[in-house]
Structure 1
Amino acid sequence: MSFSQNAFGFLAIMALVTMVHCQDWTDAHATFYGDAKGGDTEKGACVYRTLTQGYGLQTTALSTALYLDGATCGACYEIKCTNSEWCKDGAGTIKVTSTNLCPPSIGPEAWCNPPLQHFDLTQPMFVTIAKYKAGIVPVQYTRVPCTKQGGVKFLINGNPNFILVLIFNVGGVGDVKEMKIKGSGDWAQMSRNWGMNWQIGGSGWINQELSFQVTTSDGKTLEFEGVVPSNWQFSETFEGKSNF
């Protein structure tokens, strides 16, 4: 092999290594809520039941600037403590899913007010990277893919004239920007109610086999044909055969 070929191969390998290790980090701050067991994490603004729907304590509430009126519910972040005596040595990073809103407040500790980018972590996640006594620490974060077990899940709520679907356990980018529903007819557009609840009116969905078309924030779309059988009942959860 000639020198030029070796050089080309070396440069190609170095470019690949650079791509793998190049990661954009953004400055923010982090606090915590709850106790050592996680506190009140079971149902936040995104409407997930975190402990029973697979999110566990690896979760965070987002400041207004990051929450985006619920559009980023389900997004996953990698976070590291930086430039503080309160950072734990060798702690590395944590990975969390956004499940809640840290609401704006009044006063000198209004960390979640716009335009601040802030993470209010569960206590177990905070003390993984920082000392409990700190209370608040500077961090850096980046969006990362969400890794989920099993398929995308759909919880059906509402009433005979109103269907409300909570979508959760979404892999890939994690946050959903569009949903459609189909019974015996054509696809119909749903609208986001709050968190990751999506709604549509009408009584024609009862006793219908239901399908969903889901588009995540990166533009990827999956169809879940017949994921809900015709004998479905309200408050039931159904799991698709695929994930992002």
Structure 2
Amino acid sequence: MAATGSTLGFIFVVKLLSLCLFFGCVAGSLSSGVYWRRAHATFYGDMNGSETMQGACGYGDLIKQGYGLETTALSTALFNDGLTCGACFQIRCYNSRQWCLNETIVVTATNFCPPNYSKPEENWCNPPLRHFDLSQPMFRKIAVYRSGIVPVIYRRVPCVKTGGIKFEIKGNPWWLLVLVYNVAGAGDVVDVKIKGSNTDWIQMSRNWGQNWQTSALLQGQSLSFRVTTSDRRMVESDDVAPADWKIGDVYEGKQF
């Protein structure tokens, strides 16, 4: 006998819930497909966030670059060799009446929480654990400071940014290194192409974090960029940098 629509719907829900339980989901909406997952969170740095600057994603002064202190370092399982840099996460403390505060935060991934294999029972950033090492101000929004570490639930959310995508040109005339930041939407960049006013589109390669490189000689040409994020959306910013662009300058393109 053929399955009815209601039967098929029930089977789908059961299978989806089984997958969710297997992968650590704890709540969510079947219509949206966005589920919360379990992890833990700690904090690093002081209330000024000075120790959270720079980091493994290649960003510099997070205040000037628009990220503020709403940032986090990710454990190996979440960092994905830097591919997750720029992604945004919604996080809230979970299942601890003693330590949890009733607030949800949104943070951008800007750093890496390194594993310590000499302490397999003490280091929360060791694989395969999912862990957020938050800036101290962000941690204090969701949990009592003296707790030190708390269970949390999290999910990916779109990044909301002000202004266009920023391109900071570094390197030298024979080797360009471009930091791509302030990316809205998915936030994590998976592909960058560059074009001089006298060239076709040139594929850039990831150097580290969100720094992208090319050895193409582009001096004296205006520069355009194509940026693709992990959700496969692409935005093209034409003639972002003028022909007299300089190493160390930052140029602003379009936004998702």
Superposition TM-score, scaled by structure 2 size: 0.84
Distance 1:33 1:20 in 2: 37
Distance 2:96 2:190 in 1: 36
Distance 1:86 1:23 in 2: 28
Distance 2:39 2:137 in 1: 19
Distance 1:218 1:104 in 2: 28
1:192 matches 2:191:
no
Confirm or deny: 8 A CA contact 2:94 2:100 kept in the other structure: no
Residues 159-178 of structure 1: pairs in structure 2 closer than 5 A: 159-178=172-191
Confirm or deny: 8 A CA contact 2:105 2:138 kept in the other structure: yes
Distance 1:86 1:229 in 2: 56
Distance 2:239 2:30 in 1: 40
Match of 2:51, SS state, is coil
TM-fit CA distance, 1:23:
3.6
Confirm or deny: 8 A CA contact 1:30 1:119 kept in the other structure: yes
Q: Structure 2 counterpart of 1:83, which letter?
A: N
1:56 matches 2:64:
no
**Residue 44 of structure 1 corresponds to which residue in structure 2?**
55
Distance 1:161 1:86 in 2: 57
Distance 1:26 1:19 in 2: 14
TM-fit CA distance, 1:92:
2.2
Specify every segment of 5 or more residues in structure 1 that has no aligned partner in the other structure, as ranges: 1-17
Distance 1:101 1:80 in 2: 20
Superposition TM-score, scaled by structure 1 size: 0.88
Confirm or deny: 8 A CA contact 1:39 1:122 kept in the other structure: no
Residues 86-97 of structure 1: pairs in structure 2 closer than 5 A: 86-89=98-101, 91-97=102-108
TM-fit CA distance, 1:95:
0.4
Distance 1:52 1:67 in 2: 23
**Residue 141 of structure 1 corresponds to which residue in structure 2?**
154
Report the count of equivalent residues: 224
Specify every segment of 5 or more residues in structure 2 that has no aligned partner in the other structure, as ranges: 1-28
Residues 27-38 of structure 1: pairs in structure 2 closer than 5 A: 27-38=38-49
1:118 matches 2:127:
no
Report the aligned-residue RMSD.
1.4
